[in-house]
């Protein structure tokens, strides 16, 4: 089977079976690579006592700021992720986010709330967020979807001040480090 036929079959499989693996002998095409291209790391920073959501600082985001359509925040309990606050960001002009900027939890100046007011976040609870966005395709021919996602929790220090923790993946331990939040195994 030549490379062109193989590529066509893979494209068809992508459309029909998003979770299937399609790997050529050369390893050039795989659904996993496509999935990893869409899903990118997001970052959580602290502004005051609130989380502030950002895209990762990468060559891609420095070259062209993602155009945001949605910010969705989830509470993660028992293997479930329940949306607790969503902000629609599509507008004219579109909301762009550079790697050095972030959107503070509950701030509605850039969009409109889709779920009602942001509820108070609690210490010791696992949360996640994601941005649905688009970036310009190479060569300026259309757009490519990107989903920037991150995980976070809150704790209180000895003085009672809120601390926001960006919960990263620990490659060596092969898990998220929820222990910084007092959450044993994570959601």
Whether 134 shows a pLDDT value over 90: the answer reads yes
Q: Identify the pLDDT of residue 138.
A: 79
Whether 14 shows a pLDDT value over 90: the answer reads no
* DSSP string for residues in 61-97: HHHS--EEEEEEEEEEETTEEEEEEEEE---SSPEE-
CB neighbours of residue 11 within 10 Å: 13
Q: Identify the pLDDT of residue 1.
A: 47
Whether 182 shows a pLDDT value over 80: the answer reads yes
Tell me the average pLDDT across 45-59.
Answer: 95
Provide, rounded to the nearest whole percent, the portion of the chain with pLDDT above 70: 79
> Phi-psi category of 89—alpha, beta or left, where left has phi over 0 and alpha has psi -120 to 50?
alpha
CA distance 77 to 160: 24
The pTM is what? 0.78
State pLDDT tens for residues 97-117.
Answer: 999 999 999 999 999 999 999
Q: Identify the pLDDT of residue 35.
A: 44
Which comes out higher in pLDDT, residue 63 or 139?
63
Q: Identify the pLDDT of residue 125.
A: 95
Average pLDDT, the chain: 82
Look up residue 107 and give its DSSP letter.
-
Residue ranges of domains in the chain: 37-181
Q: Identify the pLDDT of residue 44.
A: 97
> Phi-psi category of 48—alpha, beta or left, where left has phi over 0 and alpha has psi -120 to 50?
left
Q: Identify the pLDDT of residue 18.
A: 34
């Amino acid at each position: 089977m030549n490379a062109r036929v193989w590529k066509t079959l893979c494209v068809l499989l992508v459309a029909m079976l998003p979770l299937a693996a399609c790997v050529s002998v050369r390893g050039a095409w795989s659904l996993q690579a496509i999935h990893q291209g869409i899903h990118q790391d997001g970052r959580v920073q602290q502004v005051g006592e609130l989380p502030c959501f950002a895209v990762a600082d990468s060559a891609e985001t420095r070259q062209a700021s993602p155009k945001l359509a949605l910010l969705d925040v989830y509470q993660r309990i028992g293997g479930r992720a329940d949306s607790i606050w969503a902000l629609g960001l599509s507008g004219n002009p579109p909301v762009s986010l550079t790697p050095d900027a972030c959107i503070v939890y509950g701030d509605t100046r850039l969009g409109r709330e889709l779920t009602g007011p942001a509820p108070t976040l609690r210490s010791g609870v696992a949360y996640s967020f994601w941005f649905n966005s688009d970036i310009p395709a190479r060569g300026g021919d259309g757009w490519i979807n990107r989903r920037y996602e991150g995980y976070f929790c809150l704790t209180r220090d000895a003085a009672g001040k809120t601390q926001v923790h960006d919960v990263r993946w620990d490659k060596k331990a092969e898990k998220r480090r929820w222990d910084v939040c007092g959450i044993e195994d994570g959601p």
